Structure 1
Amino acid sequence: MKFYFSAFLWVLSSSLGGCAQDYSLAPPANTEQVTVRIKVPPELEAKKMEVMYRSATCQRTRRDAYGEPYKVDGFHGIEVQPQQQGQSDIYEAKLARDGGGACQWHLANVTFGVVHRYPEQFGDEVTFGGGGGVVVIFDNNDSPMGGADTKVDGDLTVEGGYYPLLQESFIGGHRVQLVLWRVTGGYRKYQALSAREIYFEPMIYSNYVVRSVGPMVKKDGGYRKIIYPDGSVQFDGRSGPNFNNLEAIRQAVESKK
């Protein structure tokens, strides 16, 4: 197994104890692995995975609202670059369940996903703004993105399409960001305690662009205007488009083909 160490995502403080300051990973040669595979469409690309390990041996000290100290599991973050499998559209990474080392690290969670390869195809000023992310939790702790929305037994398959959402803002400077939108622009979060195989197959519906146009000035009732691919408009204070509406529009068009 090969890890691609880029940078710590989380810095371990000197409050880690019990490891004589040696909190490096050292996975045993025969450790069980979790395989993460992503099927990447041409318009998207796989981003680096953010992998967290936890340790009950090397704990951290925190303080409560009264200033009293208490202990929590230590954590160690690395980045792992998924590797293309031959000339295919599959990208893969293998993660050690047992992180080993003096701290006896265990795999806690992984955050991965896709970004748009060419946001400028939606306009010269468009930059990528997020979406297309997945979090899988392998223990009973929350991830850096919070707790799981869905719990699964065994292996995990995550599929589904994303709509390109162009978020245009004016307050604080004009900018247009591309978000891969599903139900929200955030992360899909799962707890999969026994998973050995994680498979993610995203799609993007590039012909069904939805726009979100913010107010020019800050004022009461200055809601965002959501413009759907069929020209219909939503102006009711919701932060993003209704995913079911987008699905209905796309299905209506495709049924006529």
Structure 2
Amino acid sequence: MKIINLFYLTLLLSLSSCALSEDFSPPPDGKTVKVAVVRPVDIDILPMDIIYRSEKCRDKIFTSAGAISSRAGYHLLTVPFKPEAGSDIVSNSVALDGGGRCEWKISNIKLEFEYSYMKKFGSYIQRNIPSDVVFIFDNNAPPRGNGHYEEVHGALIVNKDYFPLIRKSNINEGEYILSIKGQSMLTYRVYNTSEISFIPLVHSDMLVNAFPPEKKGDGYLLIYPNGEKLIDHHFPNSEKTKYEFVKQRARQN
């Protein structure tokens, strides 16, 4: 079995045009995009996942029919944020041109953030799931999403409201999951952008609890900060989920 696995690994590597050309060397005078985040209290801003693509070094892949096709080469880079002195802003600059023999070009940036300490909402919470925002720079598919995005030209400022949600798992009995909720699948396609500013407004006091249905066909029970309850049959991917209500309540306080 190990011999067979080694054979297939060697085959896949030989099919990749970029297997031996992962050199990444942005030109020193190349264009960059600055990504800055205003970090809320109790929130960690995770390193950016940056995907570069290469049309010159294409990856060969197997189709479902067993034929060999190709797609733009793929290079993942993880870039941490740096704190800006005297402020609650973290930022870093990202090269648009990755250089190298493959002539890497930036494809997209995924930015993630999560609660620094999930137990602040209860010692029973076992998982902490980050929220994310994706910025697309080319015509390739983003790392997640349904293909819908907002197009922006020039500098971009994203100012969005977020709220904590604790969900009881419907798979692992007794498991509670903390996440930061707001506008789902937040995706932007940017053009001629040299600076992106993200300002998440996280209302930690506006906690929403979600409980799975007791029997098949029932919806999730959502309990809002004011005690209001809602049955949602499409949670968590539903426009009917009333985060807009929570946002309005938060702005009134």
Once residues 150 and 232 of structure 2 are traced to their aligned partners in structure 1, the CA distance between those partners, rounded to angstroms, is 29
Conserved? CA contact 1:116–1:128, under 8 Å = no
Unpaired runs of 5+ residues, structure 1, are 1-11
Unpaired runs of 5+ residues, structure 2, are 1-11
Q: RMSD of the TM alignment (CA)?
A: 1.9
- Are 1:107 and 2:106 an aligned pair? yes
2:228 is matched with which residue?
A: 232
Deviates more, 1:32-41 or 1:82-91: 82-91
After superposition, what is the alpha-carbon deviation per residue over 1:61-107, rounded to whole angstroms, capped at 9, x for unaligned? 12333222222110100111111112421111111111010111011
- Which AA in structure 2 matches 1:26? S
CA 1:128/1:90 → structure 2, altered by over 3 Å: closer, same or farther?
farther
Equivalent positions of 1:140-155 (< 5 A) are 140-146=139-145, 147-155=147-155
The DSSP-based 3-state class of the residue aligned with 2:139 is: coil
The Cα shift of 1:36 comes to 0.4
1:175 is matched with which residue?
A: 175
CA 1:236/1:145 → structure 2, altered by over 3 Å: closer, same or farther?
closer
- Are 1:85 and 2:84 an aligned pair? yes
- Which AA in structure 1 matches 2:176? V
1:165 is matched with which residue?
A: 165
- Which AA in structure 2 matches 1:163? F
2:193 is matched with which residue?
A: 195
Conserved? CA contact 2:118–2:128, under 8 Å = no
Once residues 248 and 198 of structure 1 are traced to their aligned partners in structure 2, the CA distance between those partners, rounded to angstroms, is 26
Conserved? CA contact 1:27–1:98, under 8 Å = yes
TM-score normalised by the chain length of structure 2: 0.87
Once residues 82 and 116 of structure 2 are traced to their aligned partners in structure 1, the CA distance between those partners, rounded to angstroms, is 16
CA 1:148/1:37 → structure 2, altered by over 3 Å: closer, same or farther?
farther
Once residues 81 and 155 of structure 1 are traced to their aligned partners in structure 2, the CA distance between those partners, rounded to angstroms, is 21
- Which AA in structure 2 matches 1:220? K
Once residues 100 and 179 of structure 1 are traced to their aligned partners in structure 2, the CA distance between those partners, rounded to angstroms, is 37
Once residues 116 and 36 of structure 1 are traced to their aligned partners in structure 2, the CA distance between those partners, rounded to angstroms, is 20
The DSSP-based 3-state class of the residue aligned with 1:235 is: strand
Once residues 148 and 101 of structure 1 are traced to their aligned partners in structure 2, the CA distance between those partners, rounded to angstroms, is 32
The Cα shift of 1:171 comes to 3.7
CA 1:26/1:213 → structure 2, altered by over 3 Å: closer, same or farther?
same
Higher helix share: 2
The DSSP-based 3-state class of the residue aligned with 1:121 is: helix
The Cα shift of 1:156 comes to 1.4
> How many corresponding residue pairs?
237
Deviates more, 1:142-151 or 1:103-112: 142-151
After superposition, what is the alpha-carbon deviation per residue over 1:150-182, rounded to whole angstroms, capped at 9, x for unaligned? 111112111111011111125423111111111
- Which AA in structure 2 matches 1:66? A
Once residues 86 and 126 of structure 2 are traced to their aligned partners in structure 1, the CA distance between those partners, rounded to angstroms, is 28
Once residues 162 and 233 of structure 1 are traced to their aligned partners in structure 2, the CA distance between those partners, rounded to angstroms, is 19
Once residues 128 and 195 of structure 1 are traced to their aligned partners in structure 2, the CA distance between those partners, rounded to angstroms, is 35
The Cα shift of 1:251 comes to 4.2
Conserved? CA contact 1:168–1:212, under 8 Å = yes
